[in-house]
Amino acid sequence: MSLQLFIEQLLNGIQFGFMLFLMSAGLTLIFGVMGLINLAHGSFFMIGAFSASFVAGLTGNFFLAILASLILPALIGIMVEFSVIRKLYERDHLDQVLATFALILIFSEATRYIFGAFPLFLDIPNLLQGNILLPGEIVYSKYRLIIIIIGLFIALGLYFLINRTLLGIQIKAGQNDRQMIRVLGINISRLYTIVFAMGAALAGLAGALIGAIQSVEVGMGEPVLILAFVVIVIGGIGSIKGALIGALLIGVLDTMARLFLPIFFELIMETSQALSLGSSLASMSAYVLMALVLIFRPTGLFGKK
């Protein structure tokens, strides 16, 4: 295998990692601040992708589409937070798992009802189509590079938001001590709504960005959701830094395992079997990593004891 291919795949892994980060950041904040396990987070990923492809189809403008993928999930997030999620903060994890599982059913079926069962497509704008030549003679997709850059900016933005703004201080206070935010006189329910909407918007953005590479279909959010959970558990629930590192770790591990495992198995068995065994073991790799991390650090890499 050439070095170029290796680096290209490594970049793909990083790109996938940043996508996972967009999902995990919201998930981990929502758990850290409100103590909520939100299985419906994957639905916002899907809603983001559908809103983007709908707006793109209507206006032909990709950037408006991306804007829609932020705004619509946030609005729906606010609605759901008001009507259902709010009542779940004080409940135990079991109720949260079940209620948000039910929300997945509702969102998926509603989307299927509105857009039909067939996948939609979201086209990459002309400006971002094609490849770019990176230093070292590496040819890489412009669009994927843009995704990496967006991911980087959002990671930096979140860092700034958490550490340099009033909202960030409130979020941190909420993570450390629920009682404290009451004492500080912070409007908790507004804080919770903002955090939830922010998480939904990030998930929606991730959905739209990925939607342009894959197809936009019902159920697209759940595989990413489950991986995002793996990410935040590895990183330590509640930690944005943990989410970033976990996401990049999983993104690269998953991509590399998909590249190398089939090659490895081809050495010892016939091609078709090697391909299917390799790819299924590659899908397992993230979970194996998570189990290993939990065995040695039961609260994740950056989680509080």
Partner 1 sequence: MLTEKKFNLIIVIGIFAFSLIGYVMNEPYFITLATKIVILGIAGCALNLILGFGGMVSFGHAMFFGIGSYVAAISAFHSMNGDSIDLIFFNFNGSNQMLFNWFLAVIFSMFFALVVGSISIRTSGVYFIMITLAFAQMTYYFSIGWTKYGGEDGLSTYVRNDLFSINTMLPLNFFIICFACLCVVGFILNWIINSNFGNFLKGCKENEEKMISLGLNPYTLKLTAFVISGAITGLAGALYVDLNRFVSPTSLSWQTSGELIVLVILGGSARLFGPLVGAIVFILLEQFIGEVTENWQFWLGLILVLIVLYFPKGVSGLFIKD
Q: Which is nearer to partner 1, 61 or 276 (CB)?
A: 276
Is 85 in contact with 36 (CB distance < 8 Å)?
A: yes
* Residues contributing to the site for partner 1 (CB under 8 A): 31, 37, 39, 84, 87-88, 91, 93-95, 97-99, 101-106, 108-110, 112-113, 222, 226, 229-230, 233, 237, 272-273, 276-281, 283-284, 287-288, 290-291, 294-295, 298-300
| Eight-class DSSP state of 186 | -
CB of 169 to partner 1, least distance (A): 25
CB of 226 to partner 1, least distance (A): 6
Could you tell me the CA-to-CA distances from 253 to 16, 137, 288, 289 in Å, in that order? 10, 24, 11, 9
Q: Which is nearer to partner 1, 187 or 276 (CB)?
A: 276
CB of 25 to partner 1, least distance (A): 17
Taking the CA atoms of 188, 190, 196 and 198 in sequence, report the sign of the dihedral they define.
Answer: negative
Q: Which is nearer to partner 1, 133 or 295 (CB)?
A: 295
Q: Which is nearer to partner 1, 88 or 208 (CB)?
A: 88
CB of 147 to partner 1, least distance (A): 25
CB of 244 to partner 1, least distance (A): 18
Q: Who's near 299: CB < 8 A, 6+ residues apart?
A: 236, 237, 305
Q: Which is nearer to partner 1, 151 or 303 (CB)?
A: 303
CB of 276 to partner 1, least distance (A): 5
Q: Which is nearer to partner 1, 80 or 150 (CB)?
A: 80
What b/e sequence results for 181-208 when a residue is b if at least 16 CB atoms lie within 10 Å of its CB, and e otherwise?
Answer: beeeebebeebbbbbbbbbbbbbbbbbb
Left if phi > 0, otherwise alpha if psi is -120 to 50, otherwise beta: which for 103?
A: alpha
Closest CA to 48 of 86, 25, 76: 76
CB of 233 to partner 1, least distance (A): 5
Within 10 angstroms of residue 244's Cβ, the number of other Cβ atoms is 25
Q: In the beta sheet, which residues pair with residue 132?
A: 140
Could you tell me the CA-to-CA distances from 84 to 96, 138, 140, 244, 280 in Å, in that order? 10, 49, 44, 29, 37
Q: Which is nearer to partner 1, 27 or 201 (CB)?
A: 27
